[in-house]
Each structure stands twice: as C-alpha cells, then as structure tokens.
Structure 1
Amino acid sequence: MGFSSKAVIPFSEPPWLLGLPSPYYNESHHAFQPRCREFIQKHLLDNALEWDREEFIPEHVFESFAKANMLLPSFGAPLPVEWLRKLDIHDILGVRVEDWDYIHTAIYCDEMARSGLAGPGASLTTGMSFGVPPIYKFGSREVQEKFLPELLTGKKRTCIAITEPGAGSDVANIQTTAVKTKDGKHYIVNGSKKWITNGIWSDYSTMAVRTGGPGPSGLSMLVVPLKGYPGVNMRRLKVGGQITGGTTFIDLEDVKVPVENLIGQEGMGMKYVMQNFNHERLTISIGGTRQARVALSTAFEYVMKREAFSKTLIEQPVVRHRLAKAGAELESLQAWVDSFVYQMTKLTKTEADLELGGLTALVKAKAGMVFDECARCSILLFGGNGYTKSGMGELAERIYREVPGMRIPGGSEDVMLDLAIRQLVKNYQNKTKALERPKGSSKL
C-alpha cells in the first residue's frame, strides 16, 4: 500500500491507512479493511447518528450482520473454527476463519466505531464479544451443543451479565444466588443485574452467580434464559451515552434454570469472568481510540473553516496548541494499541493472560483518558455549537457524552490503574522467586 494521494483531515485515520509503513499489517489485513469498511458503512454507519437520536437500532441491522457473518469478528481471535465449520461458515468477507487473527479483530472494532459513537456498534456485538466466548472456552460439549449453533449464527441473542446494583468492578462481591433444587435438576436464581448491555433484546445471558459461600471461590457462570422467561423482568436504563446499546436492569425472582446450563465447574466463575475481561478491555481500547480520532478530526475540520476575529480558528496559536496536545496523546495511544494487538497474534492464550493481563487494564484506562482529552478538545473548539444537541456540533456533543461509558464499564478507571500495577508487581515477584537459588544448594 502506497502513500494516500487523497487530502485527508489530520488525525482522521491511523497512520497505516494513510499508507505509512507498518510492520503489523499484512496483505490479508490490507485486503480485509476496505471490504469491512464498505459493509459497515452501508449497513450501520450511514444511519448511525439518526438511529442514535432515535435511541434504537432496527432489528434488520442485526439480521444483516448475522447473515454476512459480520457478528463473528467481535468474538475475538482465534475464532471457534471447529464450530464454524460445522455450521458451514468458512470465511468472513473473504478471510478464511482459520486465518483470522487479532489484527483482523482490531480492524473490525476500529471500523465499527468510525461513527464516533459506541452505542450503534455495541447494540450488535456485545453478546458475541463477551457472552458467547465463555460458553465456547469453558462450557462442556453438551452446553456448547445446546447454545452455540443459534448464537454463532445470530438466530438467538445473548449478553454478559456480571454487574449488579451493589457490585460492579468488585466482581467477588456478587450477590445473585443460584441454589440447586432438592432433586439436583435445576438452579433457582434470585437477584438483580444492572447496566447490562443488550440485555433487553437477549434470549440468554451468560451470568455470574453465587453457587457457594462468600468471595471469589463461591462464584460460577450459568446460561440463564431471559426474554419472556418465567421470573425474569427486564427494563431499559437511560444512560448518558451509548443509549442504543440497550442498557438493561434485570430482576430475577425464582428463575428455574436447568443444571445443564452450568458453564464449566462450580466455583470457577471468577476465573472465567476475569479471562473474559481481557478481551473486553482490549476491544474497548481499540474502539475508544477510533472514537477519540473522530472527535479530534471533526474539530480539526471545523476550525479550518470557522472564522473568528477576522481569521479562521486554525490561525489562532491557542487552537493549534490544543490540537497538538490532544493529537500527540492520540497517536501515542494508537502506537501502543497497535503493538498490543500485534503481541496478541504472537502469544498463546496462557502467555497473553499472564504477560498482558495487567497491561490490558492499563491500556483500557489510558484509552479512556485520551478519549476524554480528545472529546474535550473537540467540544471546546466547537464552542457553543459543541454544547448544542443539533446542528454542526451535534456529533461533538454526542461523543463527549460517550466518554464516561468508556472510563467506567469494563472495569472502572481507578480500579484498572490499581489492577495493572498489582499484576505487574505480582509477575515480577513470581519471576524473581523463580530465579532464587534453593536453600542448601551449592549451585551457582
């Protein structure tokens, strides 16, 4: 790919899409990206802002993505190749499912966020991204046979339900209970789940429940039926941004769930949840980087046209200074995210969880900070237009409302910062201990 001859608004595209050299992207990635962009533009982004105003994405959009296998990229990499072949799914827009890597996933996440809004994309992908992987990775063959065929093909929808009114980032404090019946055939689930993206539309939920005593060892994961199921009541929550994502409050009262719906083993839920978080946090970082790019480039375009004090805003040093500070943060983040994603293609799942677990939390936190900086820069440069919910500054205003939705869900920012350092210290101490000479040994 050569340099772009087209005049492109500064900061509007990552360097590799401008034709600048990159060691990460191969021919398959370069071929997939324009096909991915064309599909998402036509089926989602052309109407994303309008649908965001209406606070609802039409059902036919989900169906179009499912039919084209374009929900599957959000699953992550590697894809569940064995299952996809069984379902006669062999490629995604020309990329063979066995050749799919995390860079393909990153391209998809980047393109899905190119409206600058997280809600439209999240309305389609959250279930596949975070609800389906635990079933595939940790579920028994029977659980997989029961749920994966309809979920992977988009015939049924699911969500991930962890957060509760009294337990968000503090996963170990989850209170929703799942108690076995005397005959051992069912769990009776009671409790509440809050801020559950896609919940209102979901047939099932991959849910964290308490099957044992207090603390992390008492947690398990269970596939709980939702839509229209006895004892389940759901209502949409109106949140500040990402309104089209279908944020939901779920109330569970004596919900009868077959024991066969248990994912993996009882008491292992904390492990399953935490491993799932790594994928969630990285994809949030990728999408947030693109949202920051949309915010900053939209402001850049505006200040080159808008006049004040007999000159365009871009001629004002203070405006250039503000753009420069935000732009430096953005491109630094992009470089980190790109290298991070590349590392995911070279490490095994075990290696990535060990070496990148804490850093995934850190890159998610940093992406939220950079998004905040770029969104604030945008809204300030738009001035009064950026404070207005219509007109030329509407997108900047909407993007600014999206910032908390990146800094809080998937692990609140302050928790992520602390988690990152604790994990890095733990890894260092474990490696240092492994190098210590055993007591009584004469070996050098």
Structure 2
Amino acid sequence: MPEPIPFSEPPWLCGHPSPYYNESHIEWQRYCRQFITENLTQYAMQWENEGQVPEDKYSKFAKANMLIPNLPAPLPKQALEAVGITTIGPLRVEDFDGIHQAIYVSEIIRSGLNGPASSLCTGIAYGTPPLLKFADKALQQRVVSDILSGKKRICIAISEPDAGSDVANIQTTAKKSADGRDYIVNGSKKWITNGIWSNYASMCVRTGGSGANGLSVLLVPLKDQKGVSMRRIPVSGQKCAGTTFIELVVILSHHLDRSLISLPRLDDVEVPVENLVGQEGMGMKYIMTNFNHERLTIAVKVTTQARVALATAFEYCMKREAFGAPLMNQPVVRHRLAKAGAQLEAQWAWVESFVYQMGRLSKEVSDAKLGGLTALAKAQAGIVLNECSQCAQLLFGGNGYTMTGQGELIEKISREVAGARIPGGSEDVMLDLSVRQLYKNYQRATSKASL
C-alpha cells in the first residue's frame, strides 16, 4: 500500500494504535473501500456534474445489502431476516456495530462530494428508523420489507418553508376525518432530500395544538400518488441528492375506488389512520431521538469531507510551484495547513469517541447524556469543513475558484459547506441546543443530589 498523503486517512488507517477498531472493523473497511470505489467513488464527479445518480445504482447497492449500513446499530435482525438479509459483505447482521456504521459513512463520501452519497443513503438512513422503533407491527409488515430490500424508497420530511430547525413550529396539519378512518393532511414540506424518488415519507405533522406536544409522525405515500406534487429544488451544492419541495394538494385515500377518481384541487391529503407511527402527540420525541443518529452520521460524513479537502490541498501544495519552488516551501502555506489539520484531527478524535460511547450506552441513556453533545459535534463538523474548504480554496488560488480542471473538486466542496452547516439542525441552533441540554442535565443531576 502506498504511503497516504498527509491528512488523507484517519490515524487508525495510517497504522496508529487505536482502542476502537478490531479485526472485524479492518476487514469491513477494506470491503467498503472496494465496493464503494467500484460502484460510487470513481463516478461521483460525473454524476454530480450530470445532477443525477443512475437509477440502477440504488438497486445495485440494495442487492449487495449495502444500503443497510445506513441504519443505526444494532441492526433490526428480525426485520432483515424476513427479507433474507443475514449478512452484509463479510459481516453477520448481528455483529454490526456503530463503528462499522461510521466506517461505512466515512467511506461513502471519500469522493469528497456529498450529493452522490446522499442520493443513495439519506432517505433510508433517516426515514426508516422511526418505523423500526415506533410503528406498530401491522404498519411495519406492510412497508418495511420493501424498504429494506430496496423495492421501495423512503425519506424523512420535517422541514417546511417556514419551519426548519424550529421543529416545534411545524404547520402541516393532520386532522381526523368525520368517520375517523383517515387523517386529512394539509401543508407542504421543503428541502426534503431524496423526496423526488421516494414512495413514502416519514412525515412530521401537527395532529394537536401548538407547540411540541401537538406533533405526530405519519407515513405519507408520495410517489405516483394522486394529490401529491413534488418538484426538485435547485441548490448550490449536492446537485444529485434530489432536494425536493412536496405539496399535499389533492385528496388521497385508502379506498381504491376513490383514489382513482379525478378530484378537484384541494388543500388536503387523506392518509389512513393506520399510517400513524406510534402514538399521537409523540412526534417531537420520535424526531429528536432520530436526530441523534442523523447528527452523528452527518458529523462523520462532514469530517471526512473536510479530510478530503485538506488532503487534496496538501497534495497540490507539494507539486504546485510558485516563486521558483513548491508551495509547500512557503511557511505561510504550511501554517495554514497546520491550523486546518489541527481542527480536523481533533474533530475526528471527538467523533470517534462519540461513536464508541453510543455503542456502550443504552439508547435512552445515550439520548439523555449525549443528545446536546451530538448536536455540538454536528455543528463543529460544519465549522471544521468550512476551515478546511477555505484553506484548500485559498491554496489552490484561481484553480480553486474554477469549476473545471485541477481545482474542480475543491470548488465543488466549497459550495457544499452550507449544506453541512444548515441541514440536520442549523449551526447556531445546534450550538445553543447543546448548552441548553448540558445545563438542563446539570440542573437535574444537582437537584437529585440535594434531595
């Protein structure tokens, strides 16, 4: 194996001792590197320029069971066995842990581009867990097998035109019909990754009054359904991730004869009550629990993207000459690389520790103790990406500002920084959330100690 470019690999892959990784993780990383390079990484730039990942790639990942690692560990063994999935590459399903997942997430963005990876992964990663954790058996049996096998696609639909990180302010409503058989859903969702390709959305809606206690989660049918209008939203980065605007504009129903009738445009969508995920009024809890998984995977992915940017800049500075010598001979260049590199490696070590801790704590304890810190790690990942991207773009000079040629990757990464700092909880909101939760936990602990 050739000597890696500095900063291009995490320390454990450079031969540095680590307490986190065992032989199973090493074998899994090799498998992921080979499969993902062959089926995604080498084509990522082409697909991002075209704005679309070929449709058959999702099926290819599904047939290899390589969509499953997007789910949080431990994997749903019983649900996977129901569709004939007992292994993923060299791993048995029951042996898959959080470190295996972090390796997968890191490997899938080694191209440095989030769009192709998000095109394949985001929907199943964040739309499926609410069903696996909170939906009743009847709803799970109806839809989960098709999602896990890749026959159907799903997304998570939370953000709205007027409610992004402020989840408690969601305005999309779901009210019971007169006969009590359906929820009448009225509203819209915006910035929904993978929405345009999805058969279903795990959708946060308002079934009660104002505030967090009025929220619930519904499984809403999307693709090829009368009454649901979806269109792609042009965004500055991640062009092939399928960012979508969803409008719920005509009645849908579980009554087949009614669903085939051409109806006038209404501001309603009718969804069977059986599509309620868990209990009414518990939507905020379900979403927040899901957010911890989402934010940690974002932190892994974004920190890896920062690694790609910085390593690409390091390599460029070794070969690019200016003033009669390689750029690397300039102290100011080395200083800039060092500052970004220190942030990168500190962030990576922090993220690794989170992955380890979450694998050793119960979900309930993890959510309570690490929820705020996970939000902070997600926010910091975006800050580190911004530092590494700016460093790379400045060192590439004009090439880093050019959409083709030597600096094409760096120019594209620079346009994805906002996509790391906003989705999954906007940076300033995450910073505030982290301190509020830490403060709340401290108050709770000290009040109990004083009793």
What TM-score, normalized by structure 2, do the two folds share? 0.95
SS of alignment partner, residue 319 of structure 2? coil
State the distance in 1 between where 2:275 and 2:335 align: 56
SS of aligned partner of 1:8 = coil
Q: Does 1:427 align with 2:441?
A: yes
Q: Name the residue aligned to 1:327.
A: 341
Q: Which of the numbers 239, 256, 259 marks the counterpart of 2:273?
A: 259
Distance 1:109 1:178 in 2: 34
Task: Give the Cα–Cα distance (whole angstroms) in 2 for the partners of residues 312 and 31 of structure 1.
Answer: 38
Secondary structure of the structure 2 residue equivalent to 1:7: coil
Partner of 1:440: none
Shift of 1:255: 1.3
**What is the CA–CA distance in structure 2 between the aligned matches of 1:101 and 1:412, rounded to whole Å?**
28
Determine whether 1:217 maps to 2:213: yes
Aligned to 2:238: 242
* Equivalent residue, structure 2, for 1:49: 45
1:117 aligns with 2:113: yes
CA shift at 1:256, angstroms?
A: 1.4
Query: In the alignment, residue 425 of structure 1 is paired with which amino acid?
Result: Y
Match of 1:361 in 2: 375
Report whether the alignment pairs 1:171 with 2:167: yes
1:364 Cα offset (Å): 0.3
Does 2:211 match 1:197?
Answer: no
Counterpart residue type for residue 32 of structure 1: W
Look up the SS of the partner of 2:17 in the other structure: coil
Indicate the SS of the match to 1:120: helix
Match of 2:390 among 349, 367, 376: 376
Q: Does residue 34 in structure 1 map to residue 27 in structure 2?
A: no
Cα distance, 1:6 vs structure 2: 2.6
What SS does the aligned partner of 2:240 have?
helix
CA drift of 1:332 comes to: 0.5
Give the distance between the partners of 2:436 and 2:279, measured in 1 at CA. 27
Hey, what does 2:410 align to over in structure 1?
Answer: 396
Query: Is the contact between residue 289 and residue 371 of structure 1 (CA under 8 Å) also seen in structure 2?
Result: yes
Distance in 1 between residues matched to 2:117 and 2:72, nearest whole Å: 15
- Counterpart selection for 1:133 from 109, 115, 129: 129
The residue matched to 1:284 in structure 2 has which SS?
Answer: helix
Match of 2:260 in 1: none
1:115, CA displacement in angstroms? 0.4
Q: CA RMSD in A?
A: 0.7
Aligned to 2:99: 103
Deviations 1:64-102 (A, max 9, x none): 100011001001111111111122110111211111100
62, 73, 95: which one aligns with 1:66: 62
Q: Which residue is 1:442 aligned to? A: none
Gaps of 5+ in 2: 250-267
Give the AA of the match of 1:145.
Q
Task: Please say if 1:293 is aligned against 2:307.
Answer: yes
Instruction: Render the CA deviation track for 1:302-321: whole Å, top value 9, x for unaligned.
Output: 01111111111000110000
CA offsets per residue over residues 334-383 of structure 1, 9 Å max, x none?
Answer: 11011111111111111110110000000000110000000000000000
Question: How far apart are the structure 2 equivalents of 1:40 and 1:347?
Answer: 30
Alignment partner, residue 350 of structure 2: 336
Partner in structure 1 of residue 14 of structure 2? 18
- d(CA) in 2 for partners of 1:29, 1:176: 43
Q: Secondary structure at the match of 1:410?
A: coil
Q: Distance in 2 between matches of 1:209 and 1:12?
A: 42
Alpha-carbon contact 1:196-1:247 (below 8 Å) kept = yes
Q: Could you tell me whether the CA contact under 8 Å between 1:106 and 1:283 is conserved in 2?
A: yes
Letter in 1 for 2:279: Q
One-letter code of the match for 1:119?
A: G
Runs (4+) of structure 1 exceeding 2 A deviation are none
2:423 counterpart residue number: 409
CA distance in 2, matches of 1:307, 1:299: 13
TM-score, structure 1 normalization: 0.97
Distance 2:97 2:5 in 1: 30
Q: Distance in 2 between matches of 1:314 and 1:58?
A: 40
SS in 2 for 1:304: helix
Aligned counterparts of 1:348 and 1:30: Cα–Cα separation in 2:
25
Instruction: Tell me if the contact between 1:230 and 1:255 (Cα under 8 Å) persists in the aligned partners.
Output: no
d(CA) in 2 for partners of 1:175, 1:155: 31
Aligned residues between the structures: 433
- Please state whether the residue corresponding to 1:192 is helix, strand or coil: strand
**1:185-220 deviations in Å (ceiling 9; x for gaps):** 111111010000000000100000011111111110
**How far apart, CA to CA, are the structure 2 residues paired with 1:414 and 1:20?**
35
3-state SS in 2 of match to 1:89: coil
Tell me the equivalent position of 1:283.
Answer: 297
- Quick one: which amino acid aligns to residue 359 of structure 2? T
The answer for the alignment partner of 2:85 in structure 1 is 89
Question: How far apart, in 2, do the equivalents of 1:430 and 1:395 lie?
Answer: 47
1:22-48 CA-to-partner distances (Å, cap 9, x unmatched) read 000011101110001100000111100
Quick one: distance in 2 between partners of 1:44 and 1:113? 9
C-alpha distance in 2 between matches for 1:163 and 1:372: 24
